[in-house]
């Protein structure tokens, strides 16, 4: 406790510096929308999202310090606080809400309205922030020495290293620019194929590579270990399970019963991708669901102690200090805001949740917000089992709704709406905790940061509905462009519980495969995601992981230089992810508008062009990381 009292932030409590300014609000809102849209696109493509806190921090430092010639670290912190809220809300939304579009495409219900999507996103985002505020003093202040909040601490370190802000910001912008060019070449004018594939017709297997900068960037950021587990999952699926399905089922059909077509004929009509779509995805879905539940079960002791300690901290942890760095939003405003959100969820017709669902949201929402807030402090946001929490919520909500007598599509939509709110709550509570930790280290005003979080929620919440509608209108969910893996999984879980037509034999193959991997102590979730997604996509992620591995394995480079180069590479890759996401949304706009820039008919560089472009992307990554000259 003494250590907490003695802690002195970078900006003392008695010192007042610019923080919640017009500049920080405008920049933060722009970044919230930009990174929210980019992360939504990425999550719908690969089933995972990345943190935008550090890229937002370096961009704000570059603009505020270098371009505007201002020296205000708290202003930059406010920009990343508002900006990172966008990617967290997007992460929660895209894990569940595309299921509503998929049901509409199947003719089971009407398309979700923009009002419905926006209200669900806003209610979940606001609740995630408000549920976390009473925990700030217990988790951030009193347990400062215990809960490290890795991403929040790293973001503070980046902001404190402000003298390099301009250089680092230029790295992010270069990543955005180059990725935009690469994406436009592949998916805009289409002179280079998006997929490089090698089929083994006699064997019925397939290998391939997607030529996209964001996938290379994701692989570099998650590192060689995670990317290798994903790639091995794909290898097992595309080079073992698909050939086995074709070998033993060539003359029969399993699921679905395609009229007059055997599995062999399905393969002949669409290759390995057809078998993946109709069979392998269900095996992968069973593995992902099992991985999420295993993750939750393994975390249960930590979850229980976390919840108990957080509640204890709240009881005796009211901060009576009047110092600027101890000011939270008034509790009356927090409780009033929570009550207002629950009433809106219950009574507004656009949100398909009844009183029972609203009560479930209160119980699960506060519980998982508390768990998420503390767990990201211990193990970081990337290891926070948000998908497991969402699956647990969906299971409980769907079973409860079914027992109440509503087993039709209205009950299924209600379950997804409840799951959406809880998923966003958990994601936002974790993000808010990381941001408040950054602010605690720097000496920010908590109340202003909390208002900034809510502002970021509003900005990205108003934008996310348009992004989801746009991507669905351009390509449709469940296809090659936006497979929406997490949302498809949530849809399958709800349908399975409600008694829909699920191929349980395939799902249980995935379940027991995941259990076997857990017994062997192989991380289930990355393997399962690899099994669920196309091998072409995971192979590109693997390339990024290999680049990172080779950079980290160099013997003749000192650790400090390696760390600097690794950070530069991470910032460049974060820029690549944002750049591709933004161009992806631009191309969706053009597709909806009927504008076609396809030049592949007159100029097609083929697979060789794809390989050359992948090599160019790797060289650009090395140019802004390993080969980037130090300023010192």
pTM: 0.79
Cα-Cα-Cα-Cα dihedral of 341, 346, 347, 352, to 10°? 110
Confidence category of residue 306, pLDDT binned at 50, 70, 90: low
Q: Is 111 helix (H, G, I), strand (E, B) or coil?
A: coil
Judge whether residue 148 has pLDDT over 90. Answer: no
In a domain, 445, yes or no: yes
Rg (CA), the chain: 24
Alpha-carbon distance values, 451 to 137, 429, 470 (Å): 17, 14, 29
Cis omega (within 30 of 0) for bond into 560: no
pLDDT for the residue numbered 246: 86
Q: Which of 31, 21, 24, 23 is nearest to 459 (CA)?
A: 31
Query: What pLDDT, in 10s, does the model give residues 26-62?
Result: 999 999 998 888 888 888 887 767 677 777 877 887 7
Query: What pLDDT, in 10s, does the model give residues 371-402?
Result: 788 778 776 665 566 776 777 788 888 888 88
The answer to whether the CB of 243 falls within 8 A of the CB of 535 is: no
Confidence category of residue 620, pLDDT binned at 50, 70, 90: very high
The answer to whether the CB of 242 falls within 8 A of the CB of 275 is: yes
In a domain, 249, yes or no: no
pLDDT for the residue numbered 377: 78
How far apart are alpha carbons 355 and 572 in whole angstroms? 47
Judge whether residue 127 has pLDDT over 90. Answer: yes
The answer to whether the CB of 223 falls within 8 A of the CB of 622 is: no
- pLDDT higher at 578 or 353: 353
pLDDT for the residue numbered 342: 93
pLDDT for the residue numbered 4: 43
Residue with tokens 């933004």: 582
The answer to whether the CB of 214 falls within 8 A of the CB of 42 is: yes
Query: What pLDDT, in 10s, does the model give residues 394-450?
Result: 888 888 888 888 878 899 999 999 999 999 998 999 899 999 999 999 999 999 999
Residue with tokens 């902001």: 159
Confidence category of residue 1, pLDDT binned at 50, 70, 90: very low
In a domain, 349, yes or no: yes
Total domains in the chain come to 1
In a domain, 313, yes or no: yes
How far apart are alpha carbons 195 and 619 in whole angstroms? 20
Alpha-carbon distance values, 496 to 352, 394, 407, 502 (Å): 20, 11, 11, 6
Domain that holds residue 139: 2-173+290-485
Annotate 281-325 with DSSP letters as a single string: HHHHHHHHHHHHHHHHHHHHHHHHHHHHHHHHHHHH------SGG
In a domain, 275, yes or no: no
If you average pLDDT over every residue of the chain, what do you get? 83
User: What share of the chain has pLDDT > 70, as a percent?
Assistant: 89
Positive or negative, the Cα torsion across 354, 359, 365, 371?
negative
pLDDT, mean of residues 507-528: 89
Who's near 233: CB < 8 A, 6+ residues apart? 284, 287, 526, 527, 528, 529, 530, 531, 532, 538
Q: Which of 210, 203, 186 is nearest to 271 (CA)?
A: 203
The answer to whether the CB of 194 falls within 8 A of the CB of 210 is: yes
Q: Is 252 helix (H, G, I), strand (E, B) or coil?
A: coil
The vertex-600 CA angle with 594 and 601, nearest 5°, equals 95
Cα-Cα-Cα-Cα dihedral of 215, 218, 219, 223, to 10°? 180
Query: What pLDDT, in 10s, does the model give residues 209-248?
Result: 888 888 898 889 878 888 899 899 999 999 999 999 888 8
In a domain, 119, yes or no: yes
Positive or negative, the Cα torsion across 583, 589, 595, 596?
positive
- pLDDT higher at 522 or 377: 522
Q: Which two tokens stand for residue 418?
A: 């409840």
pLDDT for the residue numbered 601: 65
How far apart are alpha carbons 17 and 340 in whole angstroms? 33
In a domain, 403, yes or no: yes
pLDDT, mean of residues 252-273: 71
Residue 382 CB coordination number (10 Å): 15
pLDDT for the residue numbered 337: 94
In a domain, 256, yes or no: no
Annotate 482-528 with DSSP letters as a single string: ---HHHHHHHHHHHHHTT----HHHHHHHHHHHHHHHHTT--HHHHH
């Amino acid at each position: 406790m003494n250590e907490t009292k003695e802690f002195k932030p970078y900006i003392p409590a008695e010192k007042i510096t610019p923080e919640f300014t017009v500049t920080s609000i405008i920049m933060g809102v722009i970044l919230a929308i930009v990174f929210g849209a980019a992360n939504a696109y990425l999550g719908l493509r690969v089933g995972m999202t990345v943190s935008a806190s550090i890229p937002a921090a370096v961009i704000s430092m570059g603009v505020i310090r270098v371009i505007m010639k201002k020296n205000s670290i708290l202003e930059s912190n406010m920009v990343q606080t508002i900006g990172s809220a966008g990617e967290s809300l997007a992460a929660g939304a895209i894990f569940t809400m595309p299921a509503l579009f998929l049901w509409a495409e199947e003719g089971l219900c009407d398309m979700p309205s923009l009002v419905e999507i926006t209200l669900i996103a806003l209610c979940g985002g606001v609740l995630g922030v408000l549920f976390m505020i009473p925990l700030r003093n217990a988790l951030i202040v009193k347990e400062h020495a215990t809960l490290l909040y890795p991403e929040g601490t790293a973001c503070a370190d980046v902001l404190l290293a402000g003298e390099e802000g301009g250089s680092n910001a230029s790295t992010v912008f270069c990543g955005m620019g180059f990725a935009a060019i690469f994406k436009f070449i592949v998916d805009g004018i289409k002179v280079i194929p998006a997929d490089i594939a090698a089929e083994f017709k006699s064997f019925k297997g397939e290998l391939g590579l997607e030529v996209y900068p964001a996938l290379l960037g994701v692989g570099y950021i998650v590192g060689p270990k995670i990317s290798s587990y994903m790639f091995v999952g794909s290898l097992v699926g595309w080079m073992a399970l698909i050939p086995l399905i074709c070998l033993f089922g060539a003359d029969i059909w399993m699921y679905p019963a395609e009229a007059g077509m055997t599995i062999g004929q399905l393969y002949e009509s669409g290759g390995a991708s057809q078998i993946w779509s109709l069979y392998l995805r269900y095996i992968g879905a069973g593995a992902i669901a099992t991985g999420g539940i295993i993750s939750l079960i393994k975390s249960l002791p930590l979850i229980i102690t976390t919840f108990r300690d957080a509640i204890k901290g709240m009881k005796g942890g009211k901060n009576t200090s009047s110092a600027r760095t101890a000011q939270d939003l008034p509790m009356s405003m927090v409780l009033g805001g929570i009550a207002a959100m629950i009433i809106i969820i219950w009574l507004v017709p656009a949100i398909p949740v009844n009183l029972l669902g609203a009560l479930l949201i209160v119980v699960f929402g506060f519980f998982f917000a508390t768990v998420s807030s503390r767990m990201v402090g211990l193990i970081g946001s990337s290891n926070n089992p948000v998908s497991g929490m969402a699956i647990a919520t969906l299971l409980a909500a769907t079973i409860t709704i079914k027992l109440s007598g509503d087993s039709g599509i209205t009950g299924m939509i209600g379950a997804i709406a409840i799951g959406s709110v809880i998923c966003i709550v958990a994601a936002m509570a974790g993000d808010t905790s990381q941001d408040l930790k950054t602010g605690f280290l720097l000496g920010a005003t908590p109340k202003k940061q909390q208002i900034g979080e809510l502002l970021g929620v509003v900005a990205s919440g108003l934008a996310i509905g348009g992004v989801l509608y746009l991507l669905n209108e351009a390509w449709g969910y469940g296809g090659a462009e936006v497979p929406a893996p997490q949302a498809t999984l949530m849809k399958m879980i709800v349908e399975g519980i409600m008694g829909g037509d699920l191929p349980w034999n395939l799902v249980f193959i995935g379940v027991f495969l995941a259990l076997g991997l857990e017994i062997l102590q192989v991380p289930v979730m990355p393997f399962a995601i690899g099994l669920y997604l196309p091998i072409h996509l995971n192979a590109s992620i693997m390339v990024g992981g290999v680049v990172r591995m080779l950079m980290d394995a160099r013997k003749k480079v000192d650790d400090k230089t390696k760390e600097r180069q690794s950070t530069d590479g991470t910032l460049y890759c974060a820029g690549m992810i944002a750049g591709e996401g933004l161009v992806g949304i631009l191309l969706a706009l053009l597709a909806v508008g009927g504008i076609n820039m396809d030049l592949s008919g007159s100029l097609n560089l083929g697979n060789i062009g794809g390989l050359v472009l992948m090599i160019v992307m790797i060289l650009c990554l090395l140019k802004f990381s390993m080969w980037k000259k130090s300023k010192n």
